[in-house]
Each structure stands twice: as structure tokens, then as C-alpha cells.
Structure 1
Amino acid sequence: MTPEHVVDARGKRCPLPVIELARYVADHPGAGTVVLLATDPAAAHDVPAWCRMRGHRFVGQRPAGDHTELVVELVARPADP
């Protein structure tokens, strides 16, 4: 199983959780699976939309105490010619 990479955006409001997720993915393109920790309810809508726009797979979300874990599977993009 691929280890999960975690982006902790707890306590941050929209649009910061998605921005931090995007920055992490840009810096770690081979991460495989990334888990975003978020307390902002808007992240439950923003992350799936971001995945659709970027071609990644939104796996789902799971409650985790005072926050939600949003799981994203990164889809490798073909290299530019």
C-alpha cells in the first residue's frame, strides 16, 4: 500500500485548504495518495471540484474527530513532448 501524504489545513478557511493541497501536489507529484485535513465545510465541495479540474481522483472523505480527512489519489500525467 502506498503511504499517505498529509496536508494539514485545519483551522483554515476557503480557499486556503485547496490552495495548500495544490501547492503540496505541485511539490510532490509522485505522492500517490494525499490526505487533506480540513475543518472548513467548504472543502468537501472544493476538493472534488479541484480533482475534476486537475484530472485527479477524489477517493472520498472520512470524519476524524474535529475535522474531515479528504482523500485524493494523484493521477500521473504524461510528460510533455
Structure 2
Amino acid sequence: MNTKRLSEVEVGRNYTAKELDSFVSTTDVVLISNNESQLFSEPEREYKVTQSFNGFFEHSSEDGEKYFREKKTVVVEKV
């Protein structure tokens, strides 16, 4: 079976958990899901990409400052 390797996802499109697993494995990305820790528990479950950002703010517990991290961030919701 030929496995599709994703290097990019599009807002508004649906992807299986298996495809998103491939995307996370090959891309430097933060993936946020409303399915919490169960995102990859059902490989054929579909998720819709709802938003995509070029980064996010993170609070440092070491110095108390907030830093913008330039890292692709994608939000998905189960469908």
C-alpha cells in the first residue's frame, strides 16, 4: 500500500489521522486538536483543518517572559 506523505495541509480540508500523523512526522509543526490526546488513536478518523498560524506566544517559566515562537501551528477539529 502506498502511504501518502504530507508536507503541507490546507485550511478547510479534511485529513485522516493517519495523514496528519505523516504531516507531524515530516514537518516542524505544532498540531492542536479538540480531540485531545486521542488524535492518533483512530487512524481513519477525519479531522478538518480550521486554522493555521505562523507561530504562537509561549510563557517561559524560567524568566516569566512571553516569547513569540515562529513555528507553524495548525488547529484541527474532528468531523
TM-score of the superposition, structure 1-length normalised?
Answer: 0.30
Higher strand residue share: 2
Structure with higher Rg: it is: 2
Higher helix share: 1
The TM-score normalised by the length of structure 2 is 0.30
